[in-house]
A and B are shown apart, each in its own frame.
Chain A
Amino acid sequence: MLQTTRQYTRTALMAAEVVLKEMAVDSFIMFTIVIQPLIIALLGLWMLRDRPDAAIYVVVGSGMSGLWSSMVFISGNSINAERWTGTLEMLVAMPTPLYVVTAGRNLAHVMQSLLSMIAAYAVASLFMGYALDIDHPLLFIPSLFFTVVAFISFGLIMAPIFILSPAVDQFKNGLEFPIFVLCGFLFPIALLPEWTTPFSYLLTPYWAARALHESAHGGGDVGVVLASWAILLLSTVIYVAVSRRLFRVILRRVREDGTLGLA
C-alpha cells in the first residue's frame, strides 16, 4: 500500500515533469496563462483605478481567470494532443492507472497557470507602482493551496470526459467567460441578478476566489475564509470520488468503442 502510494506519487511527479518539458515553450499556453490574464489585469487596473484596494483585487482576480482558462483549454488540449501523438493509447495500456498520470499532469498545468497571478503581480507592482500588500498572508497561502488542490481534482473530472469524446473540445469556448462572470473573479457577484447567486454558490471557483479575495484585501473574515476552505475541500473529495468512477466507466467505454487512437 505504502509502496504503491510512493510509486504513484513518483509517477505523477514525473508526468508533471514531462508536461513542463513538453509544453514549456508552447505559445498557446503562454497566451492562455500569461497574455490573456495580463490584458484582463491591465484593463481591470485601469478601469478600477479609483478604488483603493483595486490593485491586489485585480491581481488575484485575473490570476483566477488564468487558472480557470488553463483548466478549460490546456487540460483538454493536452489530452487531445496525446491522442494525436499516440501516447494516450500507450498510457491506457500501462500498468499504472491513468488517473495517477492525469493527476500529475494537472498538477503541472495548475502550477504553470499560477504564473498568471505572478505576472499580474509583477506588472502591477513593478511597472505600475502599486503597493501590493496581502492583508492576511496566513489565510491567503492556505487559500491558494486549497484552490490548487481543488482545481487539480476538478481536472480529474475533465480528463476522462475529454478522453471519451474529443468533441467536448467544441464546448470549451463556452466554458470560459461564464465562469469569469459567475465566480466573482473581478467584480462582486452582488452586481449580478439575484437569481444567479445559487449558481455561483455551486461553483467551486467561486469559493476559491472568495477565500483568496477575502484574505488578500477583504476584511479577513476568518469565518468566511474557513467556510470557503471547507467547501473547497468538500469539492475536492467529491471530484476525486466521481473521477475515479468516471475513469473506470470511460476507459471501459473507449476500449469497447475503439476510440482511443485515431480513426
Chain B
Amino acid sequence: MSIAIEVQNLRRVYRASTSILGREKKEIVAVSDVSFDIKQGELFGLLGPNGAGKTTTVKMLATLLIPTSGTATIAGYDVVHQAQKVRESIGFIFGGERGLYWRLSGEDNLRYFASLYRLDPSEAKKRIPYLIELVGLKGRENEKIEGYSRGMKQRLHIARTLLHDPDILFLDEPTIGLDPVGARELRSIVRDLQSEKKTILLTTHYMFEADALCDRIGVIKHGEIVALDTPQNLKQGVQDLSVIEMEVYGIGSEVLDKLRAQPHVDSVSLEDREQKQALVIQSSHGSEIVQDVINNLNGYRVERVVVREPTLEDAYVRLVGG
C-alpha cells in the first residue's frame, strides 16, 4: 500500500512576546519532533492531552502553518512548497462551531465553499444535496446556521470538507463538545468514510473513540510521539498491569506523592467526581498491593475497591503520565 501522508521530524516553534512592548520574546515549542507515515486508506489517530501539539500538527499538514523545521508531504506534495496542490487534495475540519457563515443557510455555505473548492456549478448542484443527505441535514438546509445546534454545525463541516471529494481528510477533534448521541452519529459518518477508503487523520482525546475507529494510533506528548501502534498492540503494552480503582474522600496531593513512592506502583491519578474522588492506581502487582495502598490511606474514607484489566485509556495514561 502506498503512503498518503509522510511526516518527518516536524517541528513548530511559536514566538510570543511577553511584554506589551514586544521586546522580550518567548519561544514556545508546540511540536518538537514528530514523524509518522499514514498509508492510503488508513484511519490514523493522533492522541494526546490538550496542548500536546495535535492541532498544531494538523494545521501544518493543512498548509495553515509553516513548520519551523522538518518536512511533510501529502499525496506526494510538499506542504510548504506545493501548498496549492495539497489544498486541492485534502479536506479538513477543526473541531467546534467556527469557520462557517452564520447568517447564511447551510446550503448557501456549501454553495460558497463548493466554489472555493473550484467545483463547477453543475457538479456542485448534484454534490450538495447528496452531502446534505449524507450528513443528515435534509430538511434543515435552508435554515440559517445561527439556528443550528452544535452537532448540526459539525455535520455541516463534514459535508463542507467532502465537497470536492478529497482522498485525504484531517479531522481535528470532530466530536468535541457534542452530546453522546451527536458524537455517536459523527463516528458513524467517520466509519462510512473509512469504508470508502479515505485516508483519515483523526485527533481526539477520547480513548474509546480512538479505540473504536483507528487502525493505528500515535500518542503525542509535549510535542513528541511517545508511542505509535495499533490499538491492540498499545493495549498489549500494558497487559502486565492491573488497575486498582477506589472511591475516596478528601485526598490531597501529598497523599498521592506518598502513594507514588510505594514499590510496584506505576502511576497514580485522582479525579474529582462530585463529593467523591476516584483514585486510579496502575501496578504490575495488582491485588497484592491493595492492602498497602489502603494502609497508606489510613484516616481517609475508602469505598468500593475494584481491581480490573487495563483498557486503552490505561495504556494512554501510562504513556502520557498521571
Query: From DSSP, what is the main secondary structure of chain A's interface residues?
Result: helix
* B118 at interface by CB-CB < 8 Å: yes
Inter-subunit contact A22/B99 (CB<8 Å): no
Please tell me if B36 contacts chain A, counting CB pairs below 8 Å.
no
Residue of A nearest to B63 (CB): A93
B160 to A, closest residue via Cβ = A90
Contact yes or no, B99 A89, CB < 8 A: yes
Between B84, B94, B98, the greatest number of chain A beta carbons within 10 A of the residue's beta carbon is seen for B98
Tell me which residues from 98 to 150 in chain B have a Cβ below 8 Å from any Cβ of chain A. 98-104, 108, 111-113, 115-118, 121
Q: Which residues of A contact B108 (CB under 8 A)?
A: 18, 21
* A258 in contact with B65 given A11-B115, A18-B112, A85-B101 (CB within 8 Å): yes
Does B208 sit at the interface, judged by CB under 8 A?
no
Is B99 in contact with A252, judged by CB distance below 8 angstroms? no
> Which residues from A are CB-within-8-Å of B84?
95
Cβ contacts under 8 Å, A22 to chain B: 101, 103-104
Q: A95-B84, A95-B87 are in contact. Are A14 and B111 (CB under 8 A)?
A: yes
User: Chain A residues with Cβ under 8 A from B113's Cβ?
Assistant: 90, 94
A10-B121 in contact (CB<8A): yes
Residues B101 and A18 in contact, CB atoms below 8 Å apart: yes
Contacts of B111 in A (CB 8 A): 14
B213 located at the interface, meaning its Cβ lies under 8 Å from any Cβ of chain A in the complex: no
Q: Which of B15, B103, B115, B164 counts the most A-chain CB atoms under 10 A from its CB?
A: B115
Chain A residues closer than 8 Å to B117, beta-carbon distance: 94-96
Whether a CB of chain A sits under 8 angstroms from the CB of B44 is no
Q: How far is the CB of A91 from chain B (nearest CB, A)?
A: 7
Q: How far does the alpha carbon of A124 sit from the alpha carbon of B117 in the complex, in Å?
A: 46
Max chain B C-beta neighbours (<10 A), residue from A11, A85, A258: A258
Interface string of B1-31 (1 = CB under 8 A from A): 0000000000010110000000000000000
Chain B residues, Cβ within 8 Å of A51: none
On whether the beta carbons of B64 and A92 are closer than 8 Å, the reply is: yes
The answer to whether B87 touches A94, judged by C-beta atoms less than 8 angstroms apart, is yes
In the complex, are the beta carbons of A95 and B64 less than 8 A apart? no
Closest to A82 in B: B101
Are A10 and B115 touching (Cβ within 8 A)?
A: yes
Choose among B66, B87, B98, B116 the residue that contacts A252 (Cβ–Cβ < 8 A). B66
Distance to closest chain B CB from A198 (angstroms):
35
A85 to B103, CA, bound (A): 11
Complex formed: what's the CA distance from A100 to B195 in Å? 36
Which of A11, A14, A89 lies in contact with B64, CB distance below 8 A? Answer: A89
Closest to B62 in A: A93
Q: Verify if A256 is at the interface (C-beta below 8 Å from B).
A: yes
CB-CB contacts of A75-94 with B at 8 A, as 1s and 0s? 00000000001110111111
Interface string of A22-54 (1 = CB under 8 A from B): 110000000000000000000000000000000
Cα distance A110–B1 when bound, in Å? 53
Does B92 sit at the interface, judged by CB under 8 A?
yes
Q: Within 8 Å of chain A (Cβ to Cβ): is B309?
A: no
- Residues of B with C-beta under 8 A to A173: none
Q: Given A22-B101, A22-B104, A87-B101, A96 and B63 touching (CB < 8 A)?
A: no
Output the nearest chain B residue to A11 by Cβ-Cβ distance: B115
Taking a contact as CB atoms closer than 8 A, the residue among B87, B96, B98, B104 that contacts A18 in the complex is: B104
Residue pairs across A and B with Cβ atoms less than 8 A apart, 8 shown, are A14-B112, A18-B101, A21-B108, A85-B98, A91-B116, A93-B63, A255-B63, A260-B64
- Can you list the 9 inter-chain pairs with the closest CB atoms, starting with the nearest? A86-B98, A86-B99, A94-B116, A11-B115, A95-B87, A255-B66, A95-B88, A96-B116, A22-B103
